Structure 1
Amino acid sequence: MDSKRTALTTLLGVALLAVFADPALAQGYDSTTEQLIRSLNTQLLYMAIPITVLVEGILIYTVWKYRKNDDPQPTKENRRLEISWTIATALVLLVVGYASYGVMANDYVTNTQDGNNIETNGDAVVVDVTAKKYLWEFDYPEQNVSTTGTLVLPKGQNVYLNITSTDWLHAFHVPELGLKQDAVPGQSHVIKTKITSTGTYQLYCAEYCGVGHSKMLGEVEVKSQQGYQNWLQQQSSSSGGSSNNNSSSNSSSLSSSGLAH
């Protein structure tokens, strides 16, 4: 009877964990960075579920079996058991470390390039991202295009974001794309990614940066290759980007007036 209850409890635990895990696993990936991070989380989750069920099952079984024991005795020494769980723990840590290193060392997750000398290794888009109170500026040095507030990128192409700040600490954060990087004055930090879906994604400042922090928002607009090229041509043909610069000035004015209120 006790074994049946233990098995039932274990099955219920697995089902409960699966209910919580399933929505996260069912979502698609919008960038290579997000795919790598979520895949690692999924692997670790698959490892954690059986360990959690095993430990909780033993705990529940022990509590139930000895619930009427009024004279509990200390556990006797069992070297074989101690060696077994030490080896098992070491193996788990090795697997976790190996899986984590494989993701964290990937260029799409951790890029250690110098922002002043980015090696793209082929066709790629390079954008200088500058954070300031309280807005985002995006410069495309190879196309001589600048925007404020909206970062436009192509789908299916490597992207290098060279992130810095002009005043104090900010943080570039696009949760849906798995992107996050501090913007530090006097330093350049590079993010490499490849976006796999078109659409518009919310950009946040993830580091408290003053009274206008909550308004320091932006958007990442991902277009098809053709749509991106059309956008670049449109920006370049607008009197050398003058209309774009005017929109940037207007955005700055609106941001300042919003803070004044």
Structure 2
Amino acid sequence: MSSKRTAFATLLGIAGLALFADPALAQGYDSTTEALIQSLNTQLLYMAIPITVLVEGILVYTVWKYRKNDDPKPTKENRRLEISWTIATALVLLVVGYASYGVMANEYVAKPEEAYSPSEEAVEVEVVGQKYLWNYNYEDANVSTTGTLVLPRGKNVYLHVTSKDWLHALHVPELGLKQDAVPGTHNTIKTKPTSLGTYQLYCAEYCGVGHSKMLGEVQVVTQEEYQDWLDEQQGNSSS
């Protein structure tokens, strides 16, 4: 195959990768945040595999073809080839940048610019880390709990993460959630749980001798169960 045909095939293959560059929410994930992140990872993997196969194929072919060449000559200047791989590299970077920006700029992954409006049906919870446990304040419902964070499925959730003493980090891997807990500062993350279940929560920032025991749970329930739970907590606090 001539260098011209090789360059054309390379450019065509790289351009075709753009078909995978539009991040979309995948089915079967436990939150919108996790779906976005895993979708991006999958798209980048689909892009990396053909590029890897192409580069390694050219390398193996070259080694095999010239294995008996006892007098190798330096590569001659080939402007078409140089222009082709420069354009191909630029296309790869553009596609990766476009796909990544679509996810990293999404409010379910990046820090939302503002809290939800009164017209939006959402849940706001202040998450407070301290040595060595997690406290959750549902300020609108006047409910505070420790250990288990209860959230309704299918509703937007805003978690305002802070700390009572020093640095901690809220991390719920299965929901794609991670945020630093800094004293005197509230770092907000937004998500929407999409599956019922119980998920492990832990501190991802070393915070002392009890760090490994700074565990908790996130329990995602139906809207009816969530309301019943709120009513039960309010009843217990008033009695």
Short-chain TM bin: 0.7 to 0.9
1:239–1:119 distance in 2 versus 1, CA, 3 Å = closer
Residue 81 of structure 1 aligns with an amino acid whose one-letter code is L
**Alignment check: 8 A CA contact 2:198 2:218 kept:** yes
Identify, as 1 or 2, the structure richer in helix. Answer: 1
2:222 to 214, 221, 224: 224
**Alignment check: 8 A CA contact 2:126 2:161 kept:** yes
Residue 82 of structure 1 aligns with an amino acid whose one-letter code is E
Alignment of 1:1-261 (within 5 A): 28-113=28-113, 118-120=115-117, 122-240=120-238
Residue 45 of structure 2 aligns with an amino acid whose one-letter code is L
**CA deviation after TM superposition for structure 1 residue 239, in Å:** 3.8
**CA deviation after TM superposition for structure 1 residue 185, in Å:** 1.0
Distance 2:184 2:93 in 1: 38
Give unpaired runs (5+ residues) of structure 2: 1-25
For each residue in 1:202-238, what CA deviation from the matched residue of structure 2 results, as whole angstroms up to 9, or x when unmatched? 0011111111111111000000111111111111111
SS in 1 for 2:145: strand
1:126–1:100 distance in 2 versus 1, CA, 3 Å = same
For each residue in 1:103-151, what CA deviation from the matched residue of structure 2 results, as whole angstroms up to 9, or x when unmatched? 111110012446xxx2345110000000011110000000011110110
Give unpaired runs (5+ residues) of structure 1: 1-25, 243-261
Residue 73 of structure 1 aligns with an amino acid whose one-letter code is K
Residue 224 of structure 2 aligns with an amino acid whose one-letter code is Q
Aligned-pair RMSD on alpha carbons? 1.5
Distance 1:63 1:239 in 2: 75
SS in 2 for 1:108: coil
Distance 2:112 2:224 in 1: 31
Distance 2:175 2:113 in 1: 20
SS in 1 for 2:141: coil
**Alignment check: 8 A CA contact 2:166 2:183 kept:** yes
**CA deviation after TM superposition for structure 1 residue 27, in Å:** 8.6
Residue 80 of structure 1 aligns with an amino acid whose one-letter code is R
**CA deviation after TM superposition for structure 1 residue 46, in Å:** 1.0
**Alignment check: 8 A CA contact 2:125 2:139 kept:** yes
Distance 1:239 1:67 in 2: 80
Residue 58 of structure 1 aligns with an amino acid whose one-letter code is I
Distance 1:187 1:88 in 2: 44
For each residue in 1:31-90, what CA deviation from the matched residue of structure 2 results, as whole angstroms up to 9, or x when unmatched? 000011111111111111110100011111111222222221111111110011001110
User: Which segment is superposed worse, 119-128 or 86-95?
Assistant: 119-128
Distance 2:172 2:78 in 1: 51
Q: Which runs of 4+ in 1 moved over 4 A?
A: none
Identical-residue share of aligned pairs (%): 76
Residue 66 of structure 2 aligns with an amino acid whose one-letter code is Y
Residue 203 of structure 1 aligns with an amino acid whose one-letter code is L
**Alignment check: 8 A CA contact 2:116 2:122 kept:** no
- TM-score, normalised to structure 2's length? 0.86
